[in-house]
Amino acid sequence: MDLNELRLKNPDLPLYSVTDPAFAPYGRVLPCDDAVSLSAALDETPIPDQGNCYVASDAALESLPVMDTLRRLVYGETEIQAGYCNGNGFTLNAEEYHKCSEVNYTTSGLVLLLALPEDLRGDVLRSGDVKGFYLPPRTLVEIHPRVLHFAPCRVSEAGFRCLVVLQRGTNEPLAGGVDTAAPGEEKLLWMKNKWLICHPDSPQAAKGAYVGIEGKNLTLQI
């Protein structure tokens, strides 16, 4: 489903392409000289029958030449991990942020539900401040640090495949555990380099994550 069709089916959700100037505060489109190899490797990763799956580190993806370019140009030659988030999700549920960039790429097309750091009012995010950005197939993007995002939304019944590149160690379990009663930002710390805020109706809330998204739990209709 293309962006125009998605807009018709989702009139209450602001939807843009990542090539639109509206994307600039959230991230940027990156050149990709290795799209054939990257697409072939990503298409070898499985899409679950239900829900989403996340693999932080995938050896086949990490061995691609494009990772050397990303390691230098996006991450300043710090260590990175390349994995994938694949699935059938279509609901906001939660938003997270990292204090490093995240690089995404898809062979299926997908929608990213994003919010800016300044959209947070203390530790509360209104779902009405979330915007959708369509990521077309074979497009490589950098999501800026602290931009709120979560698992992508599918744009067809076939589901989505999404490359996820982050600084190595991101999303590993916390040594000190989770404390949603902690003061300030610490209450959002859910995993290493992962601050999470969720909707009360979400699976993440049922697991004990910090509840701070107010308003409708957005869904993307296809």
State the DSSP H helix or E strand holding residue 68, giving kind and residue range, or none if neither. Answer: helix 66-73
The per-residue pLDDT for 44 is 98
What topology is assigned to 3-171 in CATH? Jelly Rolls (2.60.120)
**Alpha carbon distance 77, 70 (integer Å):** 8
Residue 187 token pair: 């209450």
SS3 readout for 77-119: CCCEEEEEEEECCCECCEEEECCCCEEEEECCCEEEEEECHHH
pTM, whole model, 2 decimals? 0.96
| Residue 24: predicted pLDDT | 98
Sketch the domain layout of the chain as residue ranges: 3-171
The predicted pLDDT at position 33 comes to 86
pLDDT score, position 86: 98
| 31-to-34, 59, 88, 193 alpha-carbon distances in Å | 9, 22, 27, 26
CA angle at 44 for the pair 190 and 144, rounded to the nearest 5°: 40
d(CA 147, CA 153): 17
The stretches in the chain having pLDDT less than 50 are none
Count how many Cα atoms sit within 13 Å of the Cα of residue 8 in the half-sphere of its side chain: 6
**Nearest-angstrom CA–CA distance, 80 and 171:** 12
The pLDDT value given to residue 88: 97
